[in-house]
Amino acid sequence: MSGAESIPDYVSYQVPLLTAYFLLMLWITPTRYLPVISSAVGTFATFRMLPTVVSSLIRPFGKPFRVTPKGSGNEANQFDRYTFAWISGLITITALGLMIDIVPETTQIQAEFSPIAAFWAGINIVVLVIASLICFEKPQRLFQAFKLDEPAVVDDVPGRLVSLALDKAVIAVPVDSRFESKLVSLHLEGFTPFKTELKQVTQRRRSISRHGDRQAYYLHLHFDLDGAIRDAMIVKLYTGQYSQDIRDIDKVAVSVNLLSRSFGRTRTF
């Protein structure tokens, strides 16, 4: 860009371009794209995959290429020091550059372009900060969860089984349900009742009866099966033709969870 260009020129060029890009992404992936957060996820993945890409170029027949940024180490790794170090370094460099640009005696940027540079530097810092939070991501369970809609009984409370994995089940029960202990008995069709641990309770609207939508509690039950009952659960999960479709992103839940993570707290929705 030439020195004669002013802030209106930059804005008139960049705003339509960015608006068209965001609208295109929202059209292609309407339920999977969040402008700033998606960029942060891509940034995190870039740092994780870059060493593998570079080593693959140097040694094409060395270690196999791993697609997923965190891969099979999810359950073991709780903090990604490597990626956090790179992201922290870039945040520091960007912040220092922003500070230098603010001071008139040290600025190296044309006065007209300075607010634009400061704006993009701020956006970059926000994206990098969000990417750094991913480095503290809690280990995810590797067992696949399937969507269901089957009857289930927790202790003596009837409900609906809405999600099931080899080590976890989510049961929707009426909001007036009460349990005396976190150790509850789960009764599924075709299984003898087995003990589970009530890890979490969430609430949202769901149709759990023929009378329309009503509020329901979602019980997140965890268990550790072995022997014949584990084998029966595997057969049920992988021969039941259940769905693994990913639900639409709850943007409110993502925003609240991100804010909680920024203050060192985690929430599950």
pLDDT score of 104 more than 80: no
Highest mean predicted confidence (pLDDT) among 69-78, 172-181, 210-219, 240-249: 172-181
Number of Cβ within a 10 Å radius of residue 127:
23
Q: What is the pTM of this model?
A: 0.55
Inter-residue contact 180 to 142 (CB < 8 Å): no
- Could you tell me the two tokens for 104? 């008139």
Q: What are phi and psi of 93, to 5 degrees?
A: -65, -45
Q: Please report the pLDDT score of residue 88 as a whole number.
A: 92
Q: Thinking of the domain 146-243, which architecture would CATH place it in?
A: Beta Barrel (2.40)
Structure confidence at residue 163 as a pLDDT band (50, 70, 90): confident
Residue ranges per structural domain of the chain = 7-134, 146-243
Question: Using CA atoms, how far apart are residues 44 and 131, in angstroms rounded to an integer?
Answer: 5
